[in-house]
Structure 1
Amino acid sequence: MRNRDLARLRHLRTLDPVEDHEEIYRTVVQYEFGWETLLGLNLAFYRTFGIPAIAELLYSTGEMTERTRKRADDTGLLMYELITHGLESERGRVGVRRLNQIHRRFDIRAEDYRYVLATFVVVPTRWIEQTGWRPMCCHERAATVEFYRRLGALLHVTDIPADYAGFERLLDAYEAEHFAPTAAAEALMTATRGLFAGRLPGRLKALAGPVADTLLTPSLRKAVGAPTPALPVRMLVGALIRVRATAEAWKAPRTEPYLTLGTAPSYPNGYRMEELGPQSPE
């Protein structure tokens, strides 16, 4: 039983999921499923650690292990700038240009680019289906696909799947073939697990590792060297997520965006888009 006003969902269903994909996806991310999408995007990023070639590249830059907080802020800010303002806005164009500048420095395989796109489409969607206060509708899912298809094209990614089912097949097949444990993956997970601890109250920090590991799938835990948390921890985390979803279903719709841009822990006085991401060596 849900008592939450579904007027916003009814409005989204009047829009075209291709022509209006940015409005629909922005609403999903900032209003309908703010917490779920933010955590889902983080889980999507964690999955890339399971691909040895990606893990080795991320580890080799030192950004994730030596400047973990800044690296996380940069990634989050760039993504949410694009989502909030739109890919064709002035800030969106600057953000896309910045992403291209960052990535052209590295030798990244086309199939790895496609896999990363698939994680951003599929992992948050599955997480919302698993933990959200309601399921995503077909328009919301189609708009998510269209947003990342458009972003991929702007980043010069080729052979992008045409629909959600295609992204799912790509992700599942690529992980089945390539997921493997590496020292780089374990180091990356250890570094980012520390960020998760920083978000918890003092008395809960000791549980940050097991809680974070509970959110990973068994195949990803194996790839990043994470232990399987004890059954009571897994049951507690699952119960808390279900309680949260039930509470959300009875709340009034959000009227303010879930994340407000402008500052971040690494940029308390604000930032310029050109500052986000690793800077080119002089």
Structure 2
Amino acid sequence: MAQASASFSEALSSAATQAMATAGAFVGYIVLCHALRFRRTRKKLASYPYRTRADYRHMTTEHAFEIQKYLYELEFPFVTNKALEFALFRTYGIPSISRLLLATKQLSTPEHAPKRYIDTEVIIGEFMSFAPGSERANTAIARMNYIHSMYQASGKISNADLLYTLALFALEPVRWIDRCEWRKVTDLERCAFGTFWKSMGDAMEISYDELRSAGSGWTDGLHWLEEVEEWAKKYEETDMVPDVANKKTADETTAILLWDVPKAMYPFAYKVVSALMDDRLRKAMMYDAPSATFQKNVYLTFRIRAFFLRHFALPRPWFLRFQRIAEEPNKNGKTYLLEWPNEPWYLEPTFLNRWGPKAWFRWAIGRPYPSVGKYGSEGFDIQRVGPKTFEGKGLPEIDKTKSKLLAQGRSGCPFAFAGKP
């Protein structure tokens, strides 16, 4: 009897020791995750010479680009990618923008919308993935400027439309990170967003005359970002109104956002998209509002994800950084996409792309998947990306604009000359 009691005590003691060791390892892992995540953030930001608000006025576009790219590729790839998609989506709540898209049928019909959407991603991806002083980034800007110029000349695109779109690409990632991620954006990172997109607006020759400090200039990217946000809110109050064109464009874009969702789940998925809208945007798009409980549960899901990442996930390693565009051209002098958000345009027809899990999944839900000879499988030529009506056009103008941008040396500080925004 005594021997059995001793054996039981030993087993109990061993179990308690194992439990304590397991608990200790678990706590240690949480501490490690937390420490490594914040250590990497501190180390990255400390590598730049911007310690105080006074230093921010000297931030270069090159540094702003690097900080922003770090956030997109390593720190918050999922949420920032969704934020950029939603930034584009939000512009369709402005009738002057959605009516143009409806008239051109570029983003309002299922035949054209997927390709037009990817072309837009390609152009934006080029100048967000490659340094502001690089030929690739400036060629993409030149191509974008040429396409816009055709509509600007006919009065179909206004400066306000361009400024509003620019504002959303600067603001939406910050908003989404603060609302949905494991940490908020720092002031230095916020300044980087403002600096980068101010420089982009300069390259697009967008007028900032409607901003409060247009006459005196902005001290830094934070100052510019604050005024752009202030202006965008007022613009939405007057111009984001319900319109049938908004809804038609939004419906096609929503279908693209839900490309990988099986049709049986569409009703639920549409409610999720609607829940992510604020009341003004939802009314402008003429979408029904989900219940308050449904909306809370959508954001609760993001908060649960953020809690898990903050405490239980190690930082994403460099070799797993999110990349959508190949860094080097292929043997044809074109560039491959590395990801395919909807139709598989511009993909390299590798075995994995054609026969991998994603291709089989797309086949199973009745979506196009990569195949040889289809969807521009040789890659893209950035000078020819865009609507079919512009195919092969504007090459001299693009070269001229690219040369002008390269000569400007866009890597420097866009606030270097106070009073000359």
TM-score scaled by length of structure 1: 0.93
How much has 1:233 moved relative to structure 2? 3.0
Whether 2:346 is the aligned partner of 1:267: answer yes
Identity of aligned pairs, percent?
Answer: 27
How much has 1:188 moved relative to structure 2? 0.6
How much has 1:240 moved relative to structure 2? 1.5
Whether 2:283 is the aligned partner of 1:222: answer yes
Asked if the contact 2:180/2:299 (under 8 Å) is kept, the reply is no
> What secondary structure is seen at the aligned counterpart in 2 of 1:106?
helix
Q: How does 1:165-244 map to 2 (within 5 A)?
A: 165-200=226-261, 204-244=265-305
Instruction: State the one-letter code of the partner of 2:82.
Output: L
- Tell me the equivalent position of 2:147: 102
Task: Decide which moves more: 158-167 or 22-31.
Answer: 158-167
> What secondary structure is seen at the aligned counterpart in 1 of 2:90?
helix
- Tell me the equivalent position of 1:251: 313
Matched residue count? 282
CA distance in 2, matches of 1:208, 1:61: 28
How much has 1:212 moved relative to structure 2? 0.9
- Tell me the equivalent position of 1:50: 93
Whether 2:385 is the aligned partner of 1:276: answer yes
Asked if the contact 2:246/2:285 (under 8 Å) is kept, the reply is yes
Whether 2:140 is the aligned partner of 1:88: answer no
- Tell me the equivalent position of 2:355: none
How much has 1:53 moved relative to structure 2? 1.0
RMSD: 2.0
Long gaps (5+) in structure 1: none
- Tell me the equivalent position of 2:419: none
Asked if the contact 1:43/1:216 (under 8 Å) is kept, the reply is no
Q: Taking structure 1 as reference, are residues 34 and 197 closer, same or farther at Cα in structure 2, changes over 3 Å only? A: same
Whether 2:18 is the aligned partner of 1:6: answer no
CA distance in 1, matches of 2:40, 2:130: 19
> What secondary structure is seen at the aligned counterpart in 1 of 2:388?
coil
Whether 2:237 is the aligned partner of 1:128: answer no
How much has 1:279 moved relative to structure 2? 3.2
Whether 2:192 is the aligned partner of 1:143: answer yes
CA distance in 2, matches of 1:103, 1:281: 11
Higher relative contact order (CA 8 A, sep 6+): 1
Larger Rg, first or second structure (1 or 2):
2
Long gaps (5+) in structure 2: 1-29, 51-55, 212-217, 219-223, 326-335, 348-376, 392-421
CA distance in 1, matches of 2:304, 2:189: 24
How much has 1:220 moved relative to structure 2? 0.1
